[in-house]
Amino acid sequence: MSRPSSIDRLPEEIRVEIGKMRMQGCTIDAILAHLRALTPDAPSRSALGRHALKMDALGEKMRHSRAMAEALASQFGDAPESVAAKLNIELLHNAVMQLHLNAAEGDTEEMAETGQFALKGDPEGLMMLAKAVQSLTSASKTNNDFIAAAEKRATERARKQAVASVETVARERGITAETLQAIKAGIFGVAA
């Protein structure tokens, strides 16, 4: 397994600062100057450049996965709150598929860079991959349960609002209690 980069060995707050500056559109030179003012252990310009390239590539993959998840959500009409859950499931699915493809293609260079030897006969790696697949399945079920519960709450809330509206109109129009009860039972399934 490769050793952590000089950026990965920096304290968390410094890595967060690098991320913030990249999000603000700062150049590598501006970030490096800022880091040199913060710490004597500032990384080299080339290390910072490699880190920026990796983060840009990761950002592009995440944007692509997010677009896919949003397209799926809009296609199936899911509520917006489920998009984030679908995105996380999709990201894990993509990672597992990339592991499988790397192993199938024998891409040992990329696997060595990322430590992905899970499918090369390593029992511990295979176990971890199996757990990832199990987690993916569990996350999908949890997301579906969340959507079903949210739909149930929304339906119940709409039903209660409709019943309250019917009761208000019935009182205004002088409808008898028996007629009102029959309407509520017939339309909304509300028992006496």
What is the per-residue burial (b if ≥16 Cβ within 10 Å, else e) of 48-84?
beebbeeeeeeeeeeeebbeebeeebeeeebeeebbe
Which tops the pLDDT comparison, 81 or 179?
179
Tell whether 29 is covered by a domain.
yes
What is the domain extent for residue 51? Answer: 1-61
Tell whether 159 is covered by a domain.
no
Report pLDDT for 118.
47
Tell whether 21 is covered by a domain.
yes
pLDDT category, 176, cuts 50, 70, 90?
confident
Q: For the ranges 52-56, 116-120, 176-180, which has the lowest average pLDDT?
A: 116-120
Tell whether 23 is covered by a domain.
yes
Q: For the ranges 20-29, 101-110, 129-138, which has the lowest average pLDDT?
A: 101-110
Q: Give the number of other CB atoms < 10 A from CB of residue 108.
A: 13
Tell whether 142 is covered by a domain.
no
Tell whether 57 is covered by a domain.
yes
Averaged pLDDT, 108-122 = 52
pLDDT, tens digit, 9 for 90 and up, residues 25-79: 889 999 999 988 888 888 889 988 888 888 888 778 777 877 776 776 666 555 5
How many structural domains comprise the chain? 1
- With 70 as the cut, is the pLDDT of residue 107 above it? no
Report pLDDT for 73.
62
Nearest to 167 by CA among 155, 179, 157: 179
Q: For the ranges 82-86, 88-92, 138-142, which has the lowest average pLDDT?
A: 82-86
Tell whether 176 is covered by a domain.
no
Say if residues 99 and 119 touch (Cβ distance below 8 Å).
Answer: yes
186: left (phi over 0), alpha (psi -120 to 50) or beta: alpha
Which tops the pLDDT comparison, 113 or 91?
91
Averaged pLDDT, 93-119 = 58
Q: Give the number of other CB atoms < 10 A from CB of residue 166.
A: 17
pLDDT, tens digit, 9 for 90 and up, residues 148-174: 888 899 988 988 888 888 888 888 888
Averaged pLDDT, 106-110 = 52
Question: What does the mean pLDDT of the chain come to?
Answer: 75
Tell whether 51 is covered by a domain.
yes
